[in-house]
Amino acid sequence: QVKFVESGGGLVQPGGSLSLSCSTSGFVLSNYAMAWYRQAPGKQREWIANVGASGATLYTASVKGRFTISRDDSKNTVYLQMNNLQPEDTAVYYCNRRPPCDSWGQGTQVTVSS
């Protein structure tokens, strides 16, 4: 079945960086646009970035210029490089298709705090 396993989260100080990975299985990654989403405490899950099958990328305004999404179809993996992290980036981060399917991973917690 379709499966996503996110990793790489942690606690980082403001201005710091983290690199997230999403291992996928159960489908042919190269056939799909992929995205990262996040859910902050008390808020709905939101889309933040996607990468098309061709490699074209798109970002929500709040992360543009700080986050970079990429993919390696040979490794069935999607990445999110996050730089200049701020407290408002604190959330659980998920990857999924774009648009998302019903299967979600457990996510990876990112906490930005001094």
Average of pLDDT values for 39-59?
A: 96
Q: What percentage of the chain exceeds 70 in pLDDT?
A: 100
d(CA 89, CA 59): 14
The beta strand positions in the chain, using DSSP E, are: 3-7, 10-12, 18-25, 34-39, 46-51, 57-59, 67-72, 77-82, 91-97, 108-112
Q: Residues 61-102: pLDDT tens digits?
A: 999 999 999 999 999 999 999 999 999 999 999 999 999 999
d(CA 80, CA 71): 9
Q: What is the pLDDT of residue 18?
A: 98
Q: What is the pLDDT of residue 84?
A: 98
Q: What is the pLDDT of residue 83?
A: 98
3-state class percentages of the chain: helix first, strand second, coil last, to nearest 5: 10, 50, 45
Q: Sheet holding 10-12: strands in order across?
A: 10-12, 108-112, 91-97, 34-39, 46-51, 57-59
Q: What is the pLDDT of residue 75?
A: 98
Q: Sheet holding 3-7: strands in order across?
A: 3-7, 18-25, 77-82, 67-72
Task: Pick the closest to residue 98 from 30, 25, 49, 64 (CA basis).
Answer: 49
Average of pLDDT values for 47-55?
A: 96
Q: What is the pLDDT of residue 20?
A: 98
